[in-house]
Amino acid sequence: MKILAVVPAYNEEECLEGTVSSLQNTCPEVDCLIVNDGSKDSTWDVVRRNGFNGACLPINTGLTSAFKTGMKYALRHDYDAVVQFDADGQHLPAYIPVMAHELEEQGAAMVIASRYLDGTVKPSGARGAGSRLITFLIKLTTGAKITDPTSGMRMYNREMIRLFSTAFDLAPEPDMVALVARRYGKVVEIQATMQERQGGESYLKLGNVIKYMSRTCLSILMSRFLR
């Protein structure tokens, strides 16, 4: 299976080199594309200094367009699968072969690396409450039980690469997980452990978490009837 890791990066100069080096050392058979999303720090300098494969967007356009840039690259270069991989060091590359096996073995459209699949760790805090609510709404609207819908480590098959590259209204967010489960194919999960962010600052402060979760829940409910 020909796999591309798409790594959207916005102001990740502290983490990027370690993240990509770990990915390359652990999974040398997996190609990597860093999409610098108009970073204001030295993220693009890190890409160039290390000779990483990268695309540089001239302004900050957000996760969706940065990820779609990677999907268009994957489509043009005939990849079988794309794994969405955070630049901040939270995702562990050792799970990529496991995800690829499940994608192929189960004929899935998407595989999610879940922190909560085996039940030993429970979602907590405001983000955890939002995650549980999203899990409930996905189950309600699709019948699929997704234990970690906010996980950013996801693998997509060829059909999803094509859809992301051509559809204007797909985003790598939890409401998209519900849409895929309802319309495009099987969504499966594997158990995974994730690290703390290895540097930099997360966008998801409490206020942003509440807005993000509210938008996501509303989108899941509305798309059930409109899409």
Contact of 220 with 137, CB cutoff 8 Å:
yes
Task: Return d(Cα 188, Cα 148) in angstroms, integer.
Answer: 11
Q: In the predicted model, is pLDDT for residue 66 greater than 80? A: yes
Residue 78: pLDDT band (50, 70, 90) is very high
Q: Smallest Cα–Cα separation from 167: which of 37, 65, 48, 73? A: 65
Structure-model confidence comparison of residues 99 and 206, the more confident one: 99
Q: Which helix (H) or strand (E) holds 81?
A: strand 81-84
Write down the pLDDT at residue 188: 98
pLDDT tens digit string along 9-44?
A: 999 999 999 999 999 999 999 999 999 999 999 999
What's the confidence (pLDDT) of residue 70? 98
Residue 39 near residue 69, CB atoms below 8 Å = no
CATH number of the domain that residue 121 is part of: 3.90.550.10
Per residue in 131-177, pLDDT (tens digit) is 899 999 999 999 999 999 999 999 999 999 999 999 888 889 889 99
pLDDT of 200: 58
Angle of CA points 201, 204, 210, to nearest 5°: 160
pLDDT band at 58 (very low <50, low <70, confident <90, very high): very high
Amino acid (1-letter code) at residue 109:
A
Q: Give the span between the Cα atoms of 134 and 168, in whole angstroms.
A: 23
pLDDT at 202 over 60: no
pLDDT at 222: 74
Instruction: State the pLDDT confidence band at 216, using cuts at 50, 70 and 90.
Output: confident
Q: Which two tokens stand for residue 37?
A: 């999303």
Domain count within the chain: 1
pLDDT band at 208; cut points 50, 70, 90: low
Sign, CA dihedral 77-12-208-144, equals positive
Q: What is the pLDDT of residue 111?
A: 98
Which pLDDT score, from 0 to 100, does residue 209 have? 66
Given a contact cutoff of 8 angstroms between Cβ atoms, the answer to whether 37 and 86 are in contact is no
Determine the pLDDT at residue 220: 75
Cα-Cα-Cα-Cα dihedral sign, residues 223, 127, 35, 111: negative
pLDDT of residue 215: 76
Domain extent for 143: 3-226
Residue 91 pLDDT: 97
pLDDT value at residue 214: 77
> Helix, strand, or coil here: 165?
helix
Share of the chain above pLDDT 90, in %: 75
pLDDT tens by residue, 96-106: 999 999 999 99
Rounded (5°) CA angle 13-111-19: 20
Whether residue 118 is predicted with pLDDT greater than 90 in this model: the reply is yes
